[in-house]
């Protein structure tokens, strides 16, 4: 008998990796829920699809019908753009999590696996390892971090008031990379007129020498999620690969010379360029990069029998190869758009930081 899973955000970065992982394992019937439905090609043929924006007012009701006989719901859907429309991002992230949780409860789903993030953690241990008991208060200046923290608070409230309700697991990975996500990451993080392969000609990397961040490959995140479903595991799980990535590692990957520029000087430059619509990342992402802790993964190793198959360097190299070769997938979320296409879309529909559909 197959295990029926419903995956929100199933056509995105982690969702695509998870589809591969479940298909390889066999024994799963998958329903993918996404705002932009992928074509029935490649790995996306392995799932049935329901098109739904979790920010819609009727999302809870519509999700209930999708989750009717699901054994597990894996909630991956999240918004990264438009960064100028925080109300919509919160409606997708926090409101969407609320809708998924309510629908899963009403539908009697046995397990909910929620994709949280290192971004849910509070400041105070930068460059040091924390386990899952560290505060999930988030980083106040980061809209992404605030929303991840608020989503976890929803889960906390539910667990406190529903002792016999849905079993909840929370995955807290570091920054997730893979080759086939390069197309999507290019749109969300680089100016529309920049071709990612041009980064190899960057002569210097002006960045604070203190930088140290947790990195993990999407395939390793997918493996942890699959193991969580297989074991019907509950609770939070930190996920990262070793060693932590430092500024000089990024410079080496780009073939650039590292130059120390304090984050306090970088922040106004990022803020001003974002406000001037020269690039799509606001200063909250920089704050988070220089604030979040490293992740102790002992619980995932002991409870799930999990260990990352790729080092952080291998994960970065895989993403770098994707940038150089314009890697993407058939999914609209991960599809590659070159500079000309991106600029024309900005002129027609507005910049990615402001329009509803990135």
What does the block give as tokens for 155?
Answer: 């889960």
Q: State the Cα–Cα distance between residues 351 and 344, nearest whole angstrom.
A: 10
- Asked which of 15-19, 213-217, 317-321 is least confident by mean pLDDT, the reply is 317-321
**Inter-residue contact 111 to 72 (CB < 8 Å):** yes
Q: How far apart are CA 69 and CA 24, in angstroms?
A: 23
Sign for the pseudo-dihedral over CA of 51, 192, 15, 115:
negative
Give, in order, the Cα–Cα distances in Å from 263 to each of 5, 212, 268, 291: 43, 12, 9, 11
Please provide the average confidence, as pLDDT, over all residues in the chain: 95
Is residue 93 very low, low, confident or very high in pLDDT (cuts 50, 70, 90)?
Answer: very high
Mean pLDDT of 198-213: 92
pLDDT tens string 160-192: 999 899 999 999 999 999 999 999 998 889 888
Query: Cα–Cα distance between 302 and 288 in angstroms, integer?
Result: 28
Q: Could you tell me which residues are beta bridge partners of residue 30? A: 5, 47
DSSP β-ladder status, 294-295 and 241-246? unpaired
pLDDT at residue 199, rounded to an integer: 83
**Residue 338 pLDDT:** 87
Residue 358 has pLDDT above 80, yes or no: no
Instruction: Please give the pLDDT value at position 356.
Output: 76
Element housing 29 (H / E): strand 28-34
Would you place residue 94 in the very low, low, confident or very high pLDDT band (cuts 50, 70, 90)?
very high
Cβ-based neighbours of 168, under 8 Å, separated by 6 or more? 111, 112, 113, 114, 155, 158, 159, 234, 235
Residue reference for tokens 């999700």: 63
**Which residue did the predictor score with more confidence, 197 or 25?**
25
Q: Using CB atoms within 10 A of its CB, is residue 164 exposed (0-12), middle (13-18) or buried (19+)?
A: exposed
* Structural element, H or E, at residue 257: strand 257-260
Q: What are the chain's domains?
A: 3-177+214-243 (3.40.50.720), 180-211+245-292+310-349 (no CATH)
Residues in contact with 302: Cβ distance below 8 Å, sequence separation at least 6, in sequence order: none
**In the predicted structure, residue 357 carries a pLDDT above the cut 80:** no
Rounded average pLDDT over 204-218: 97
The residue with tokens 């667990």 is 159
Cis amide linkage into residue 321, ω under 30° from 0: no
CA torsion 358-345-18-234 (nearest 10°) is -10
pLDDT tens by residue, 36-57: 999 999 999 999 999 999 999 9
């Amino acid at each position: 008998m197959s295990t029926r899973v419903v995956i929100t955000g199933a056509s995105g970065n982690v969702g695509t990796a998870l589809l591969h992982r479940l298909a390889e394992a066999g024994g799963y019937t998958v329903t993918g829920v996404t705002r932009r439905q992928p074509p029935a090609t490649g790995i996306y043929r392995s799932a049935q699809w329901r098109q739904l924006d979790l920010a819609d007012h009727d999302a809870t009701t519509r999700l209930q019908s999708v989750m009717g006989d699901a054994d597990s719901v894996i909630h991956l859907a999240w918004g990264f753009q438009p960064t100028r429309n925080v109300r919509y991002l919160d409606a997708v992230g926090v409101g969407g999590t609320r809708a998924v949780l309510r629908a899963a409860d009403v539908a009697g789903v046995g397990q909910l696996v929620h994709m949280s993030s290192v971004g849910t953690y509070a400041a105070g241990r930068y460059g040091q390892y924390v386990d899952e008991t560290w505060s999930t208060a988030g980083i106040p200046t980061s809209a992404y971090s605030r929303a991840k923290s608020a989503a976890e608070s929803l889960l906390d409230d539910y667990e406190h008031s529903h002792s016999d309700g849905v079993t909840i697991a929370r995955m807290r990975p570091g920054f997730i990379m893979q080759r086939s996500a390069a197309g999507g990451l290019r749109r969300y993080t680089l100016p529309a007129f920049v071709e990612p392969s041009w980064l190899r000609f960057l002569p210097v990397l002006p960045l604070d020498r203190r930088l140290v961040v947790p990195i993990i490959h999407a395939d390793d995140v997918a493996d942890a999620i699959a193991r969580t479903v297989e074991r019907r595991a509950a609770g939070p799980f930190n996920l990262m690969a070793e060693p932590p990535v430092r500024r000089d590692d990024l410079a080496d990957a780009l073939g650039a010379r590292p130059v120390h520029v304090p984050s306090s000087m970088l922040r106004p430059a990022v803020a001003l360029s974002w406000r001037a619509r020269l690039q799509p990342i606001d200063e909250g992402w920089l704050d988070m990069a220089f604030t979040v802790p490293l992740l102790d993964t002992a619980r995932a190793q002991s409870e799930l029998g999990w260990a990352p198959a790729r080092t952080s360097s291998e994960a970065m190299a895989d993403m770098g190869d994707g940038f150089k070769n314009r890697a993407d997938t058939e999914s609209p979320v991960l599809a590659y758009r070159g500079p000309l296409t991106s600029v024309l879309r900005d002129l027609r529909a507005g910049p990615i930081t402001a329009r509803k559909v990135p």
